[in-house]
Structure 1
């Protein structure tokens, strides 16, 4: 009995000696990556720092409500003599204005054939890309990028660095 448990005990004891591997950050929203565009130059410069620009669309909400045109009329016994008349009225309001934005992006020189094929593979594994692994940023790949990023708050066909990191195709910057 002791001979079969000894390897397990040693493995558990030694596993505590391994250095912790930092986990990739769990990105739930790309909205914090967006910087409102105020000029034609990106927010910062430097080696390996690249930006993409795009326009976030306005978000318009349509609200429909029933408006009472004529109230019901009831008899002395409580029976309805004439039914109420309602009308549907719809109104639109802007929830969020359209705005030009900057966001960090993989640098153009990094968008190699292998990189884009890896991106396509990552998008395909998640069900966003259904095409062949061509290594080209074609319309089908750009559509898949948009479909991946949109629920995260970035409605753009341009790949953000944070989305690339979440997909595992760009290195993640770890903060200690």
Structure 2
């Protein structure tokens, strides 16, 4: 066991001892603000919708623009070399958008559902780690990576993704979101 691993083991042991002393001490799952941005709202029919903001995509291009061409002499030698200027431009490739999408209602995100979600994402190579049944940072990142393939770049589980993963029944008419 190397020094780093022994320090991690000692820290884990100390944390476990501290938590064992005080049953009120529960490790907190901290989610960065970027992954907390979406809001879930319920409509009149009881369906839940996530509201998230996709950031603008800005492309920066830097290029050399010729200010003056080279001046050749009568014998073909260069009397004055060309001069260039560096020009940098930024262009918005995709505007910032507020996206509304059907999602799983918070009360349905049970530990059993989250564990099944983690297993489904792990089977597809998007979730790496233990099955914790917690909607933690690792799980949200896996959701976002999986959904990014369809152009839905959010860490909030879309109902279409849940159906695609086999976690939510598909309506009989085959429709839905």
Q: TM-score, normalised by structure 2?
A: 0.67
Q: Judging changes above 3 Å, is the alpha-carbon distance between structure 1 residues 42 and 110 closer, same or farther for their aligned structure 2 residues? A: closer
Q: Deviations over 1:29-65 (max 9, x none)?
A: xxxxxxxxxxx99595314x21111111111111222
Report deviation, 1:132.
0.7
Mapping for residues 1-176 of structure 1, pairs under 5 Å: 44-47=43-46, 49-173=47-171, 174-175=174-175
Q: Give, in whole Å, the separation in 2 of the partners of 1:58 and 1:140.
A: 24
Query: CA-atom RMSD, angstroms?
Result: 2.3
Displacement after TM superposition at 1:99 (Å): 2.7
CA distance in 1, matches of 2:85, 2:54: 35
Does the 8 A contact of 1:42 with 1:102 survive in 2? no
Task: Give the deviation of 1:105 after TM superposition.
Answer: 0.4
Count of aligned pairs? 135
Q: Is the 8 A contact 2:104 2:157 kept in 1?
A: yes
Give unpaired runs (5+ residues) of structure 2: 1-38
Q: CA separation in 2, counterparts of 1:43 and 1:100?
A: 17
2:40, 2:50 within 8 Å by CA — same for their partners in 1?
no
Contact 1:53 1:101 in 2 (8 A): yes
**Which of structures 1 and 2 has the larger relative contact order (alpha carbons within 8 angstroms, sep 6+)?**
1
Contact persistence 1:52–1:104 (CA under 8 A): yes
Q: Which runs of 5+ in 1 are unaligned?
A: 1-39
Structure 1 length as normaliser, TM-score?
0.67
Whole-Å Cα distance in 1 between the matches of residues 92 and 109 of structure 2? 36
Equivalent residue for 2:36? none
